[in-house]
């Protein structure tokens, strides 16, 4: 399969998948650029007295059409409970009082959920320390952790608010808050008077605007599975699938039970890797594919694929010196190989954010950990399903060609997929490091290949023992030396600019480096802003770049004086990660257009076409 045909088939499948999502109402809609709720800590007193409790409350004011959730989620409600974390002076204590009852609010799955909207007060009782010194001010802090949703999307909300109080011999009431903390009505009733006031206008507005329904958990799981399935044809995963297809062909004439075990071992490897990656992503709140922001990781991946490619090409055979190993141990080794292939497939799949997958991954920002892990599980099952299908159904395996001498040529041919992946990883490295470190990385791969050649030429079972020992030592020195020479220094980052790249094509769009400050300044000047969140390790991002060569599209950018900014996530960047999360995204590519006079950005489809980018720019003419 040549490169143009592979790219065409990949693009066709991705376009078809994207169209499927839109036609069936499964397309993700734009998320708000910032949380739409204001938190404030208020108190019934202006001055507290030592040892005498007083009432306080966290006041939440929601923007129209937005809501948060209560302390505990009712059964069947998908969301995240609101949590208050207090920081008080030493000896002070806080006791949460019953919160107001929740009520029906529009949910992001088009149904009705339970939560708070409008204005709501979350009451507490605070008791100062008996030893608190009168006269000095004290500072009370509370961190509000919540999930803020509108009918289209949800975003995490974390806000710390502070209240300063004096300490006096006797408490001094705060008259401004008397209506909130009066003996009647009770906090629950007061909240019922304030919060539902905007409620009728919010169900009315949701129905009138008729937004595209956002993802329910079932749809997200479907997205996850389909996205994992599509990952099999992405260039970073396809070589691994090719390796497993080779093994299926080799095992086609063997016992069905053994073939099924290989399929299950591969699936377990995929799932285990996804569970680990999912756990890390949830615990550290890292973006999907963030491990490819490390030049060292990319270098090791390139070296690993090179060794694997040389093995498949026949330069050497792993395990030829294992004389006398019994058939049981060989069988275990074979299953171990399938398990390891599954691990590898999941690791190299992470930078490939296919259609469907970005939506599912973005949702993990707002879901509880258990539901997030369920999404990662479905992605893994989607990735493992083709090989598992071949393993479970013997009829499909028997339809494959029978083993024979042709298999060696087939295996060697498949090695070129891995050599291609090595080239791609080197491309990623050249976008992360430059100068001598790039040269050293390339030369080190030559040394690693030399070590593999020495091992395959002289570390053979029929060679004298001394020859084998010397060959292994030289091979180890060559491979180890190569790794030592080529491992990129963390400080060796690229310094080339977008201006240098653009100078090669005078008609190219002028991409400036993205920053939140630059976006704010351009929007304040009423200028349209187009942002490309991208990364060199993201294959879909590279495919997307082809649309910017279209002359008519370039003309539209220039006609509307659109500022084009590039947010390059090739290296770890906390600011870009937070910006993506604010858009409800967790992976690249993400392309957004800010229209003057419109607060929320327009988020384009993950796979760009001249048509959908043109349609987005046409919105500037309205």
617 pLDDT band (50/70/90 cuts)? very high
pLDDT of 255 > 50? The answer is yes
Same domain, 136 and 80: yes
Same domain, 454 and 540: no
Same domain, 250 and 135: no
Same domain, 593 and 612: yes
Same domain, 276 and 342: yes
27, part of any domain: no
324 versus 257: the higher-pLDDT residue is 257
Taking alpha carbons only, the member of 146, 151, 147, 152 closest to residue 203 is 151
pLDDT of 256 > 60? The answer is yes
Same domain, 43 and 183: yes
- CA separation for the pair 451, 311 (Å, rounded): 12
40 pLDDT band (50/70/90 cuts)? very high
pLDDT of 10 > 60? The answer is no
1 versus 263: the higher-pLDDT residue is 263
14, part of any domain: no
pLDDT of 419 > 60? The answer is yes
57 pLDDT band (50/70/90 cuts)? very high
pTM beyond 0.75, yes or no = no
SS3 label, residue 594: strand
**pLDDT attached to residue 143:** 92
586-601 pLDDT, tens digit per residue, is 778 899 999 998 888 9
Same domain, 105 and 155: yes
- CA separation for the pair 233, 249 (Å, rounded): 19
- Judged by average pLDDT, the poorest of 115-124, 435-444, 504-513 is 504-513
pLDDT of 393 > 70? The answer is yes
CATH number of the domain that residue 565 is part of? 3.40.30.10
The mean of the pLDDT values for the chain is 74
20, part of any domain: no
Structure tokens at 537: 């390790």
SS3 label, residue 595: coil
pLDDT of 34 > 70? The answer is no
25, part of any domain: no
SS3 label, residue 253: coil
**pLDDT attached to residue 26:** 38
Which residues, at least 6 apart from 512, have a Cβ–Cβ distance to it below 8 Å? 498, 518, 563, 564, 565, 566
**pLDDT attached to residue 56:** 93
348 versus 604: the higher-pLDDT residue is 604
64-81 mean pLDDT: 78
62-69 mean pLDDT: 87
204-210 mean pLDDT: 27
10, part of any domain: no
Phi, psi (rounded to 5 degrees) for 589: -85, 145
Which residues, at least 6 apart from 24, have a Cβ–Cβ distance to it below 8 Å? none
**pLDDT attached to residue 237:** 64
170, part of any domain: yes
- Judged by average pLDDT, the poorest of 84-93, 121-130, 250-259 is 250-259
SS3 label, residue 332: helix
Same domain, 488 and 532: no
345-368 mean pLDDT: 60
404-431 mean pLDDT: 77
pLDDT of 24 > 70? The answer is no
pLDDT of 550 > 70? The answer is yes
185-196 mean pLDDT: 36
**pLDDT attached to residue 457:** 87
- Please give the tally of structural domains in the chain: 4
**pLDDT attached to residue 180:** 83
12 versus 156: the higher-pLDDT residue is 156
**pLDDT attached to residue 490:** 52
Same domain, 244 and 280: yes
Last residue of a domain, one of 374, 403, 427: 427
**pLDDT attached to residue 511:** 92
Is residue 224 a contact partner of residue 372, using CB atoms and an 8 Å limit? no
**pLDDT attached to residue 416:** 83
- Residue 469, CB half-sphere, CA atoms under 13 Å: how many? 3
Is residue 335 a contact partner of residue 369, using CB atoms and an 8 Å limit? no
Same domain, 269 and 418: yes
7, part of any domain: no
**pLDDT attached to residue 111:** 59
Range of the domain at 147: 37-209
Taking alpha carbons only, the member of 418, 445, 423 closest to residue 239 is 418
**pLDDT attached to residue 254:** 61
**pLDDT attached to residue 234:** 63
**pLDDT attached to residue 365:** 56
Tokens 């990129």 label which residue? 488
Last residue of a domain, one of 185, 209, 233: 209
pLDDT of 527 > 80? The answer is yes
Last residue of a domain, one of 461, 478, 495: 495
- CA separation for the pair 388, 397 (Å, rounded): 11
pLDDT of 60 > 90? The answer is yes
251 pLDDT band (50/70/90 cuts)? low
pLDDT of 127 > 70? The answer is yes
536, part of any domain: yes
Enumerate the β-bridge partners of residue 56. Answer: 43, 124
Q: What percent of the chain has pLDDT over 70?
A: 69
Q: What percent of the chain has pLDDT over 90?
A: 17
Same domain, 586 and 438: no
363 versus 218: the higher-pLDDT residue is 218
Same domain, 414 and 478: no
336 pLDDT band (50/70/90 cuts)? confident
Taking alpha carbons only, the member of 343, 347, 350 closest to residue 266 is 343
Strands 54-62 and 93-96: unpaired
CATH number of the domain that residue 112 is part of? 2.60.40.10
Residue environment code for 523-561, b if the CB has 16+ CB neighbours within 10 A, otherwise e: beeeebbbbbbbbbbbbbbbbbeebbeeeebeebbeebe
């Amino acid at each position: 399969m040549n490169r143009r045909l592979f790219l065409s088939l990949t693009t066709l499948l991705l376009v078809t998948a994207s169209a499927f999502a839109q036609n069936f109402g499964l397309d993700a809609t734009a998320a708000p650029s910032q949380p739409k709720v204001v938190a404030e800590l208020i108190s019934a007193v202006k001055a507290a007295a030592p040892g005498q409790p007083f009432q306080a409350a966290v006041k939440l004011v929601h923007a129209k059409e937005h809501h948060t959730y209560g302390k505990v989620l009712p059964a069947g409600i998908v969301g995240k409970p609101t949590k208050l974390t207090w920081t008080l002076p030493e000896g002070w204590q806080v006791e949460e009082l019953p919160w107001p009852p929740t009520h029906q609010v529009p949910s992001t799955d088009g149904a009705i959920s339970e939560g708070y909207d409008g204005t709501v007060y979350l009451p507490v009782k605070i008791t100062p320390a008996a030893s608190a010194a009168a006269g000095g001010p004290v500072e009370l802090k509370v961190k509000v952790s919540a999930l803020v949703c509108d009918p289209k999307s949800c975003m995490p909300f974390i806000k710390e608010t502070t209240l300063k109080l004096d300490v006096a011999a006797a408490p001094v009431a705060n008259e401004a808050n008397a209506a909130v903390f009066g003996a009647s009505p009770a906090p629950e009733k007061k909240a019922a008077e304030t919060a539902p006031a905007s409620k009728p206008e919010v169900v009315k507005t949701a129905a009138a605007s008729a937004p595209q329904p956002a993802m329910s958990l079932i749809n997200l799981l479907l997205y996850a599975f389909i996205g994992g399935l599509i990952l099999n044809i992405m260039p970073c995963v396809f070589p691994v699938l090719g390796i497993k297809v080779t093994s299926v062909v080799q095992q086609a004439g063997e016992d069905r039970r053994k073939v099924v075990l290989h399929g299950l071992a591969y699936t377990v490897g995929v799932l285990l890797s996804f569970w680990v990656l999912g756990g890390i992503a949830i615990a550290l709140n890292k973006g999907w594919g963030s491990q490819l922001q490390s030049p060292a990781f990319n270098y090791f991946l390139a070296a690993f694929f090179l060794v694997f490619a040389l093995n498949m090409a026949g330069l050497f055979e792993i395990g030829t010196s294992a004389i006398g190993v019994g058939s049981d141990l060989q069988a275990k080794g074979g299953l171990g190989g399938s398990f390891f292939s599954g691990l590898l497939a999941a690791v190299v799949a992470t930078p490939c954010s296919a259609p469907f997958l970005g939506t599912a991954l973005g949702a993990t920002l707002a879901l509880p950990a258990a539901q997030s892990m369920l999404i990662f599980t479905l992605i893994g099952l989607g990735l493992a399903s083709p090989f598992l299908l071949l393993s479970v159904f013997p009829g499909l395996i028997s339809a494959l060609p029978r083993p024979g001498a042709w298999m060696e040529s087939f295996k060697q041919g498949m090695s070129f997929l891995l050599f291609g992946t090595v080239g791609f990883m080197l491309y990623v490295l050249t976008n992360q490091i430059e100068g001598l470190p790039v040269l050293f990385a390339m030369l080190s791969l030559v040394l690693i290949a030399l070590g593999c050649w020495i091992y395959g030429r002289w570390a053979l079972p029929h060679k004298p023992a001394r020859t084998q020992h010397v060959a292994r030592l030289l091979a180890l020195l060559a491979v180890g030396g190569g790794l030592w020479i080529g491992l990129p220094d963390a400080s060796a980052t690229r310094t080339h600019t977008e201006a240098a790249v653009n100078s090669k094509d005078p008609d190219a769009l002028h991409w400036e480096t993205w920053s939140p400050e630059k976006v704010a300044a351009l929007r304040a000047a009423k200028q349209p802003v187009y942002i490309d969140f991208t990364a060199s390790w993201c294959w879909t991002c590279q495919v997307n770049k082809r649309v910017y060569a279209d002359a008519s599209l370039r003309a539209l950018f220039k006609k509307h004086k659109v500022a084009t900014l590039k947010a390059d996530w090739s290296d770890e960047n906390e600011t870009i990660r937070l910006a993506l999360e604010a858009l409800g995204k967790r992976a690249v590519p993400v392309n957004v257009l800010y229209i003057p006079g419109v607060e929320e950005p327009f988020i384009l489809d993950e796979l760009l076409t001249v048509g959908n980018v043109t349609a987005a720019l046409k919105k500037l003419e309205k």
